[in-house]
C-alpha cells in the first residue's frame, strides 16, 4: 500500500471540508501514521503528497484550526512566528480579550485567584493544600504565586 492510499484510508470528509484523520494521535493532539518503519505527522504527509516538499525552516499550519484536519486546502506553510500571529489574530491565545475567566481553559475565577493569593501570603498553607481547596494542582498555584498566570490581577 502506498503512503497516499494509507492516508486516504484514514480520512473522513466532513461537510465543512475538513478531512478528519481517523488514525492515532500523538501526545500533542496531531494525527500520526506509520509507514515504512517511520512515524509521520498526518497533516505534514498530506501537504507533501498534495503540494510538495516542506522547506526546512517552515511548518505546516492549519487555516481551519483543526489539528485533525489533513485537507491540503486547509493547510499553509509558515514559521513559528506566523503560527503565533495566526493564533493571536483568531483570539486563541491568552492575550486580548481571551484571558482570565474569558479563557476557555480557565479553571478559576478572578475571586478565587485573589483568595489563593491571600492564602499564599498568610504562609499557613502549602501550595498543594491551596490547590486542593480550589480543585487545581500545586503547579497552578505556583504559577499564580510567580505571576506567570493571572498577572493582570496584580
Query: In the prediction, which pLDDT does 27 show?
Result: 78
Mean pLDDT of the chain: 89
Q: How far is CA 76 from the centre of its chain?
A: 17
pLDDT at 52 exceeding the cut of 80? yes
What is this structure's pTM?
0.61
41 DSSP β-pair partners: 32
Residue written as grid cell 500523538: 26
At residue 14 the predicted structure's pLDDT band, cuts being 50, 70 and 90, is very high
* Per-residue pLDDT tens over the stretch 126-142: 999 999 998 889 999 99
pLDDT at 95 exceeding the cut of 80? no
- CA distance to 22, 81, 136, per residue, from 120 (Å): 45, 36, 14
The CA distance from 70 to 29, in Å, is 13
Amino acid at each position: 500500500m502506498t503512503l497516499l492510499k494509507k492516508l486516504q484510508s484514514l480520512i473522513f470528509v466532513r461537510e465543512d471540508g475538513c478531512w478528519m484523520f481517523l488514525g492515532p494521535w500523538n501526545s500533542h493532539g496531531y494525527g500520526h501514521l506509520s509507514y515504512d518503519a517511520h512515524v509521520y505527522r498526518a497533516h505534514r504527509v498530506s501537504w507533501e503528497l498534495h503540494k510538495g516538499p516542506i522547506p526546512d525552516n517552515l511548518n505546516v499550519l492549519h487555516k481551519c484550526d483543526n489539528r485533525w484536519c489533513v485537507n491540503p486546502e486547509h493547510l499553509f506553510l509558515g514559521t513559528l512566528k506566523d503560527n503565533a500571529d495566526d493564533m493571536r489574530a483568531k483570539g486563541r491565545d491568552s492575550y486580548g480579550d481571551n484571558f482570565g475567566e474569558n479563557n476557555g481553559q480557565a479553571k478559576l475565577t478572578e475571586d478565587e485567584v485573589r483568595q489563593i493569593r491571600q492564602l499564599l501570603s498568610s504562609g499557613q498553607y502549602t501550595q498543594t493544600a491551596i490547590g486542593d481547596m480550589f480543585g487545581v494542582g500545586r503547579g497552578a498555584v505556583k504559577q499564580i504565586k510567580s505571576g506567570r498566570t493571572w498577572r493582570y490581577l496584580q
